[in-house]
Amino acid sequence: PRDAERPPSPRSPPMPSCELPVGTCPDMCPAAERIQREKERRLHRFEVVPGCCGDWPRADPQRAVKEYCRPAAGKPRPPPSQLRPPSVLLATVRYLASEVAESADASRAEVASFVADRLRAVRLDLALQGPGDAEAAVVLEAALATLLAVVARLGPDAEHGSEDPVLLQTQVQESFGSLRRCYAQSAGPHPRQAAFQGLFLLYNLGSVEALHEVLQLPAALRTSPPLHTALAVDAAFREGNAARLFRLLRTLPYLPSCAVQCHVGHARRRALARLACALSTPKGQALPLGFMVHLLALDGLSEAQDLCQRHGLPLDGEERVVFLRGRYTEKGPPHAGSCNVLVGSKLRGRTLEEVVMVEEEDEGVDRPSSP
């Protein structure tokens, strides 16, 4: 992401919240909105009564989720009855992570579009009221983790889905901004702050501004295992050290892997370009595709073949790539691939809701040396 898209500095002065109300709406979607959207036929299929037939789908109070509506200038603030308190917002995020994100009868692009919009409404409800900083942080952490996961699950679907990947990227950056401002406004306790500051750096890998903001954090945070690892990954990415970078990426837990996935395609392309520069000759030098699979943490020989062919490199049979001078090309944006080794396999039988609510550090992973 471009530096211009970075969220504001966490050192921004805190906004006073003592005069803001606390929501009282007990449902994921206020009753008035459910009735209005049902009347206007603006219900998503995730929100209607299961099996509901006919031309006029009915809203299911247990499935409808408040949609995002941009606040209009001069429009009065919604009353507390239209705002969901932190406990309801957290339950809403858990519902989106457990029920909607795991939906088997919808495309990942449709899920991402719906979840991103409803999580945006969650952040707006928090901004319009005055919950405690600790409560707000827990909601924002869960919302950000859910959004990172559903965006990462898009994979190749992002290239031809209905949801604009740039808009999703903007939503992730805004989520980071909301959470990091929340951290900056209070001393905590925020038990997961180190992990989410690490996610921020991994999502913005290679950004000078993001690195600067992380380096301004207190020493206790900077030296924590999640941030120590994130800094090591960032250093390997900047240096173009593909062997170290992908070795580190293999060890990351699931959520950090989701955060860094958007940079995998670029890192693989840069590594392949360096190999082409070093090995290309007029007659061509061959390299086993198995080596490429290991070096770049690819999901198998077929993905290695696809990567090489995308960049104009010929294959010698099914197990070797030939580096011929003048053949390497770069067309279109880099392709990350399916990323099962680097991301999907790390769920290890857990549900997304379990990961969103408590992301434990993987035991037995060697802590990397200082970057």
Spell out the alpha helix ranges (H) of 55-164: 86-95, 108-127, 133-154
Q: At residue 159, what is the residue type?
A: E
Distance, CA of 86 to chain centre: 22
pLDDT at 230: 98
What is the distance between the alpha carbons of residues 237 and 19, in angstroms, rounded to a whole number? Answer: 45
Helical (H) or strand (E) element with 174: helix 165-185
User: In which residue are the tokens 């379990």 written?
Assistant: 354
Spatial CA neighbour of 252 closest among 140, 347, 337, 338: 347
Q: Which two tokens stand for residue 357?
A: 């609510």
pLDDT at 54: 65
The DSSP call for residue 368 is P
What is the distance between the alpha carbons of residues 281 and 196, in angstroms, rounded to a whole number? Answer: 45
pLDDT at 370: 44
pLDDT at 362: 44
pLDDT at 15: 42
Q: Check residue 339 and give left, alpha or beta (phi > 0: left; psi -120 to 50: alpha).
A: left
pLDDT at 163: 62
For CATH 1.25.40.990, list the domain ranges present in the chain: 194-352
- The dihedral sign for the CA sequence 194, 91, 70, 63: positive
Per-residue pLDDT of the chain (371 residues; tens, 9 = 90+): 444 334 444 444 444 444 788 899 999 999 999 999 999 999 999 999 987 766 788 999 999 999 999 887 778 889 999 999 999 999 999 999 999 999 988 999 999 999 999 999 999 999 999 777 889 999 999 999 999 999 999 875 455 455 678 899 999 999 999 999 999 988 778 999 999 999 999 999 999 999 999 999 999 999 999 999 999 999 999 999 999 999 999 999 999 999 999 999 999 999 999 999 999 999 999 999 999 999 999 999 999 999 999 999 999 988 999 999 999 999 988 988 889 999 999 998 999 999 998 754 443 344 454 44
Does pTM surpass 0.85? yes
The answer to whether the CB of 239 falls within 8 A of the CB of 209 is no
Spell out the alpha helix ranges (H) of 223-342: 225-239, 242-251, 254-260, 264-279, 289-295, 301-310
**Could you give the angle at which helices 264-279 and 242-251 cross, rounded to 10 degrees?**
150
Q: Per DSSP, what are the bridge partners of residue 323?
A: 285
194-352: what CATH class?
A: mainly alpha
